[in-house]
Amino acid sequence: MSERANQETAVCNTGPLIALAKIGQLGLLPRLFAQVMVPAGVMGELSAATRLPEADIILATEGIERVTLDRAPDPLLLSELGCGEAEVIALAVARGIERVIIDERKGRRIASLVYGLKVIGTGGVLLKGKRVHLLKAVRPLMEQMRANGYYLSDRLIKQVARECGE
């Protein structure tokens, strides 16, 4: 298998970065995607999170690129979503990137239905990692995320586990 699973670029939000860092799987992103962009607003959220030990790891991870938007997201988008989700969608649209990594339900819905973006969440990233043989099992990682305080429904864990044959 090549160093990267494919040549797709993705724009990532704060939640998936934190969730993956907490389970020691942040390095999965640059192995699955040719380029992983993180808007400056998301990096700002991480920088401001002084109580979050994973922030330093995320900010220093090679293969995760900080990108500044050329212009602020649409005010309507900002009124509906948090700064991070709004900037992820705005950056993807501005750069013509189809793939976004967002866990928050409303952000996912707006990204796919309004902007036609392909949305993947943290569970989907783990599933993709297993499909390309970078991970042996997904369910234990999702259970670890949940134990770390990251909200995952039973339904999501079962669905992802079923999709990867666990």
- Residue 5, pLDDT score: 57
Domain at 48, CATH number: 3.40.50.1010
- Residue 4, pLDDT score: 55
Lowest-confidence segment of 28-37, 52-61, 152-161 by average pLDDT? 52-61
Count up the domains in the chain and report the number. 1
- Residue 2, pLDDT score: 42
Per-residue pLDDT reduced to its tens digit, 6-41: 688 999 999 999 899 999 999 999 999 999 999 988
Does residue 163 fall inside a structural domain? Answer: no
Does residue 43 fall inside a structural domain? Answer: yes
Does residue 41 fall inside a structural domain? Answer: yes
Position 69 pLDDT exceeds 50: yes
Cβ atoms of residues 3 and 27 within 8 Å: no
Does residue 153 fall inside a structural domain? Answer: no
Cβ atoms of residues 122 and 140 within 8 Å: no
Does residue 112 fall inside a structural domain? Answer: yes
Q: 130: which 2 tokens?
A: 């297993």
Give the type of residue at 118: K
Percent of the chain with pLDDT over 90: 63
What is the SS3 assignment for 34?
coil
Strands 64-67 and 118-120 come out as unpaired
CA angle 114, 164, 20 (to 5 degrees): 65
Position 165 pLDDT exceeds 50: yes
Position 54 pLDDT exceeds 90: no
Does residue 151 fall inside a structural domain? Answer: no
Does residue 115 fall inside a structural domain? Answer: yes
What is the sign of the dihedral through the CA atoms of 61, 62, 63 and 65?
positive
- Residue 149, pLDDT score: 87
Task: Tell which wins on pLDDT, 44 or 65.
Answer: 65
Which structural domain range is residue 47 located in? 9-136
Distance of CA 91 to the CA centre of its chain: 14
